[in-house]
Structure 1
Amino acid sequence: MSKTTPATAALLKAGIPFELATYAYDPDAERVGLQAAEAMGVDPGSVFKTLMSEVDGKPVCVVVPSDGEVNMKKLAAAFGGKTAQMMKPAVAERLTGYKVGGISPFGQRKAVPTCVEELVALQDRVYLNGGQRGLQINLAPDDLVRALGGKTADLIR
């Protein structure tokens, strides 16, 4: 497995400190983030998933705990929109340059507005996808939000 991805390159370029963790990716897992947490032996609440969505037809990226579900009304409101829906996997892959199960919020092919679930502030460190299946980036929540140039909001149910 390569430890250099567009995600890790973006973090290095931005001077954001991070560590890498790997795990055995299970393509048949019902919920990839939960499977990653279990495989790494960490709290599921500290593993965040990257979801590509559309708000009023425009692409956005959301980062939420792997054990949480996005509330579409809250998602739309976080971006000042009226409606939100999940992006089709093929569109997400084309837009980000990553494969589903390996989508990172960092180093995406096309930068889009990003929002992180506000519960991230309760964690000392968080894990999120490093740009390929089985690769996780571990960093401080403040560094996550700063690196994304994003914001935080209440996004889950």
Structure 2
Amino acid sequence: MADVRLQPQQQQQQQQPPPPRSHQMVKAATAVTAGGSLLVLSGLILAGTVIALTMATPLLVIFSPVLVPAAITVFLLGSGLLASGGFGIAALSVLAWIYKYVTGKQPPGADQLDKARQKLGYKAREMKDRAEQFGQQHTGM
């Protein structure tokens, strides 16, 4: 017969008895208690929200001629500030990339830019040659 040796982890798994039923019952009771408590808490929060909205609705209706334009103004101010900040960060990062590129450091994407520049130069020379050929054909006639 072959000598079968178990790894230490496999030996521990075989030697340990399954957890007792009381341990599983404690886990289940804890889970039910926590879940029930959270369910009750969410129900209370929902009820409080509905009550607060019911009480605040008359005030919202009374002040809506002021609140709606104020909310629109705050939204426009916030989005304008957020957009200007985003554009400012984008501009600074582009300027930093250009500075790295001009100073000879290779920022990400510089190789693609060089390839595109070479391809554009090749196409420009090709178009120049075609234009010269076209001009010679029409002037030679």
Q: Determine which structure has more spread, i.e. the larger CA radius of gyration.
A: 2
TM-score (norm 2): 0.17
TM-score, length-normalised on structure 1?
A: 0.16
* Richer in helix (by share): 2
